[in-house]
Structure 1
Amino acid sequence: MSNIKNIIPERAADIGNFLVGRLLPFREKRMIGPFVFIDHMGPIHLKMDENFDVPPHPHVGLSTLTYLFEGSIMHRDSLGTEVEINPGAVNWMTAGKGVVHSERTPPKLRDKEKSLHGLQIWVGLPKELEKMEPSFNHIEKEDIPTWEENGIEYKLIAGECFNRKSPVPVHSKLFLLELKSKERRKVNLSDHLFGESGIYILEGTIITEDISYEPKQILVAKDHKLCEFEMGKDTTIYIFGGEPFDEMRHIHWNFVASDKTIIEKAREDWKNQRFPKVPGETEFVPLPN
């Protein structure tokens, strides 16, 4: 019997001037552990007169994780943060009761040809922390735990796993792992995962029970204790999940909450521009109907 409960395909979504591949939420699986939203950005090549620009927009009730494979993004937020994220580093912003940020091509690249490729991830907050003070953390590539085992390169981007802990300051029990294989290799993660788990195939192949799975889809496991598979040659995957929350999470636009009244208040506050401002920014993304 297969241990795969759901197969989630990557679907095209428009985020303004940029098309992404939407992975979560999915109609048959809204969350995986505390993970509520995953977008695959790119890969895309931008011309000299093209830039990635997402004007100031708000969030509540979640943490955002930006992880790039290629290119760079300038992050600015209402806390006064201004930092450029580059491949392998992690931007971790906890919105809590409310934060506003923009994401743009850095000034030094705006008149040059450039590429962009990466993951944008939202992680829900525990109910008791949904209205916490917002915060921002930037973790450099060199500070992310990496190791090699049985010919597979591992990277613990966030959370705890394999008796290791990422410096990303998460707020619940979760894990986000990167695995890379140059040759076909067997993997057994049964003793290391917990809660719910999913595998996103970025490139290459996953083989389980004589069935091959290709890129641009998430495989959701029925039971993390049976997480055994093979990675094909030149394969990169992301394994993520953790302990699910007791309460469901509502998602509306950029807002996540266990209580719909929190989302409605956030809508009204953004509509009436009561959120804090991003220093140096005058544009904003209007509230969708």
Structure 2
Amino acid sequence: MTDDLFIQTIEPTTHDLGGFKVHRTLPSRPRTMVGPFVFFDQMGPAHLEVGNGIDVRPHPHINLATVTYLYAGAIDHRDSLGTFATIEPGAVNLMTAGRGIVHSERSPASERDKGPDLSGIQTWLALPERYEEIAPAFEHVPAARLPIVQSGGATARVIMGNLWGESAPTTVYAGTIYADILLEPGASIPIDAGADERALYVAMGEASVDGMKLEPTTLYVLRPGIAATLRSENGGRVVLCGGEDFKTPRHVWWNFVSSSRDRINQAKADWKAGNFPKVPGDDKEFIPIPEVPLTVSYP
């Protein structure tokens, strides 16, 4: 569906992972990227049984940055740099893979003991070509350091980039906007036209743009240059994301993103051969490379 406001509407592919669902809108057949965003997953919301949790075993990435943002619950992050960090709602974990990194994500023991909540957004950002092979890095930005904007009954946290006159401290490698917008019943907030590419996603509740209803778990790509107003009659939570238009395509295969197919093939061979570094404190398990990955780019 397209109109004067939107150039594209991307419905999710939904995977049931046992106890919780993941809704994936990027990459998709209709579109691979919105600004630097090349992967967009919503996890949950879900409440897992006592003693259960998520256990994403060590796995590799190259030539991208991962961004984890939670609405509820907590996740322990470990990586091959020796990082250990627990992310909680409202904070940001930014992991820059660069030339290669391995990480795991697991529910903390304290969460398993009470039955973990799981709700949040995981995204991957493509790196500009000049940064694809930089040294890997990890950055945790606490919720208290991310600016909050209040407007018309809406409360927006700026996760990355510059929005509504505020700037997040989170590192960016390309022009990037990313915000978590909480709308009280009857609230509204302007969506300006500043970025090359922008998209809106209703994670919870309901919302509309200039009177047009937005379906939940669907990514709406806004027409460039259009200013609009986001509203909610009954309350909702919306993601705004986007940034600069990449002039060269990115290839996605499993956990690998690159401007070069050859580089992805090299990463496949390196993971099969055990050439990636280990994750200190979580080096007994790993995710084997799949024959047919769930995450791929499309011609």
Cα 1:114–1:185 shift into 2, 3 Å: closer
2:47 aligns with: 45
Query: CA distance change for structure 1 residues 15 and 244 in 2, over 3 Å: closer, same or farther?
Result: farther
User: Which residue in the other structure is 2:256 paired with?
Assistant: 255
Q: Does 1:131 align with 2:137?
A: no
Displacement, 1:150?
2.2
Q: Look up the match of 1:103.
A: 105
What per-residue deviation string (whole Å, max 9, x for no partner) do you get for residues 188-212 of structure 1?
A: 3235x31100001112323345432
Deviation sequence 1:113-163 (CA, Å, 0-9, x none): 221111111000000100000000001010110021222212101112223
Give the match for residue 144 of structure 1. Answer: 146
Structure 1 position 182 matched with structure 2 position 184: yes
Going from structure 1 to structure 2, the CA distance change for 1:183 and 1:172 (only over 3 Å counts) comes to same
The answer (yes or no) to whether the contact 1:18–1:52 under 8 Å persists in 2 is no
Deviation at 1:183, TM superposition (A): 2.7
**1:135–1:118 Cα change, 3 Å:** same
- Which has the higher mean CA deviation after the structures are superposed, 224-233 or 123-132? 224-233
Q: Indicate the residue corresponding to 1:226 in structure 2.
A: 227
- Look up the match of 1:58: 60
TM-score, structure 1 normalization: 0.94
**Cα deviation, residue 170, structure 1:** 1.2
1:46 and 1:207, CA in 2 relative to 1: closer, same or farther beyond 3 A? closer
Q: Which residue matches 1:116?
A: 118
Structure 1 contact 32–196 (Cα < 8 Å) conserved: yes
Amino acid at match of 1:142: A
The residue number in structure 2 matching 1:283 is 285
Cα distance between partner residues in 1 of 2:114 and 2:188: 42
Q: What are the residue-to-residue correspondences of 1:58-97 with 2, within 5 Å?
A: 58-97=60-99
Gaps of at least 5 residues in structure 1 are: none
Which moved further from structure 2: 264-273 or 7-16?
A: 7-16
Q: Does 1:202 align with 2:203?
A: yes
Contact persistence 1:176–1:240 (CA under 8 A): yes
For the structure 1 residues 186 and 141, does the alpha-carbon distance in structure 2 shift closer, same or farther, using more than 3 Å as the test?
A: closer
Q: Which runs of 5+ in 2 are unaligned?
A: 292-299
Whole-angstrom CA distance in 2 between matches of 1:267 and 1:17: 30
Measured in 2, the distance between the counterparts of 1:236 and 1:244 equals: 26
User: For 1:110, what is the secondary structure of its paired residue?
Assistant: helix
Instruction: Decide whether the 8 Å contact of 2:57 with 2:286 is kept in 1.
Output: yes
CA distance in 2, matches of 1:173, 1:104: 31
Between stretches 215-224 and 92-101, larger displacement belongs to: 215-224
State the Cα RMSD in Å: 1.7
TM-score, with structure 2 as normaliser: 0.91
Range 200-209 or range 83-92, more displaced: 200-209
**1:21 alignment partner, one of 8, 20, 23:** 23
How much does 1:15 deviate?
6.2
Matched-pair contact (CA < 8 Å) for 2:67–2:124: yes
CA–CA separation in structure 2 for the residues paired with 1:190 and 1:137: 28
- Residue 287 of structure 1 aligns to a residue whose secondary structure is coil
Alpha-carbon distance, 1:16 to partner? 8.6
